[in-house]
A and B are shown apart, each in its own frame.
Chain A
């Protein structure tokens, strides 16, 4: 039976110093353009949501660039998420005032999980995405019970926490997160496909939507992550920026594969 709801395709803009950049496995950054222009371009070509991540705000220990958020939000009429360097309720409030609909918190949520509840109580759970950067544990196989051992990393993949990704996703949900943005550090930037077993493990463990991220390189990868990975949404950055894929073309393929998507877009 059709549930009626569609699988979402989310275009992600990784931003540093006000410019969109793309790296491989979180390093070696190259310039990909202006955030406001790219956000508008993706929305008109059919992206269901836009995510803007300031990927060096935490490592540079500075707040997110509010003017970039404002400029990007101005002409955007699809859901708009902003993340990177959100450390307090005040940081979140400033981002919402600038026109974001949701904030994504990563490092701050691990260090101070109460912030999830604080922001959710003020702005609603629908406005709080907990982003998890996870890396499979070396040598640990997927168990017969379907558990997938993966460790949570902080600060754009720079610091290991020792925490299990699935367990942390469950805690984030119980503290008020409205969605989980799960990035596989092993797959990110490789264009070899999403980490479907890890995505499925998280998606089955929580009752909130899970956005899969890291590894998109072809339309087939999106089909896999929606089917085998049980993802509610999938996020990609580089494949859209350089015009390798148009969201419209990707959605047409998903529809042919029987995956419900928003069309026409």
Chain B
């Protein structure tokens, strides 16, 4: 069972639909108790970084940290991945989880911002044996839509270039994050979500 965290920003339908397609049951919640006890957590995210503030005030942030501590598989998508960093200049008052170091910043490029469309991901040396990217060749195309990007630091398993190189995937122990939208990235995206499900299912039957 995958628990999708709802924080009333954006639209969970597409992410839920992709898990259903993979034969995975899902439940949507904003209840800290359910988050704490989840078998696997997914934080989808679109929109402004400040919307994650709701996760702190509702008690979900603390519950997510407890779940991670217990080894619960956790996947953050888009802003959900950015939230795993210390913060974002999009909303300097709002704290991220600081599971990865550094702050998300707006693209500094003469290219159009937001970065919208299909772009390629490439493993970092650290991401060579990434579980999330198992079976996904380097230079595969995935769908992005974002204006802020996370830095390439320890824990980054794949990068993408748009004027500058930024973190496309992060992975450390039971924590995973993707800047792009796997639920909108065709077969490549479905493979990434399946890898997460396989990891989560393996762990829950152990």
Residues of A within 8 A of B (CB): 3-8, 43, 48, 73-75, 77-80, 96-99, 101, 123-127, 178-179, 207-209, 232-233, 262
Contacts and interface: CB of A to CB of B under 8 A. Distances in A.
Nearest to B9: A124
**Secondary structure call for the A interface:** loop
B45 to A, nearest CB: 9
7 contacts: A5-B117, A5-B118, A75-B21, A77-B21, A79-B143, A126-B46, A126-B116
Contacts of B141: 6, 262
A233 B117 contact: yes
Given A4-B161, A8-B117, 16 more contacts: A3-B163, A5-B118, A6-B117, A43-B186, A77-B186, A77-B190, A78-B185, A78-B186, A123-B10, A123-B11, A124-B46, A124-B47, A125-B114, A126-B116, A208-B116, A232-B112
Contacts of B190: 77
Contacts of B114: 125-126, 178, 208-209
B113 interface: yes
Given A77-B190, A96-B11, A123-B10, A3 B162 contact: yes
Given A74-B17, A78-B143, A207-B112, A48 B47 contact: no
Given A5-B119, A8-B118, A77-B18, A207 B189 contact: no
9 tightest Cβ-Cβ pairs between the two chains A and B: A124-B47, A126-B145, A124-B46, A4-B161, A96-B11, A262-B118, A262-B141, A6-B118, A5-B117
B108 to A, nearest CB: 14
A4 B11 contact: no
A3 B165 CA distance: 10
A123 B112 contact: no
B46 A97 contact: no
Contacts, number: 97
B119 A6 contact: yes
Contacts of B117: 5-8, 48, 209, 232-233
Interface of B: 9-11, 13-14, 17-18, 21, 46-48, 111-120, 141, 143-146, 160-163, 181, 183-187, 189-190
B113 A99 contact: no
Contacts of A48: 117-118
Contact of A5 (B13, B47, B162, B183): B162
Contacts of B160: 4
Contacts of A43: 186
B10 A99 contact: no
B117 to A, nearest CB: 5
Contact of A207 (B47, B113, B119, B187): B113
A158 B139 CA distance: 45
A97 B14 CA distance: 9
A4 B143 CA distance: 12
A178 B117 CA distance: 12
Given A4-B120, A123-B47, A178-B145, A101 B112 contact: no
Contact of B162 (A4, A123, A233): A4
B74 to A, nearest CB: 22
Most buried by B among A3, A75, A208: A3
Most buried by B among A5, A80, A126, A127: A5
Most buried by B among A97, A123, A126, A207: A126
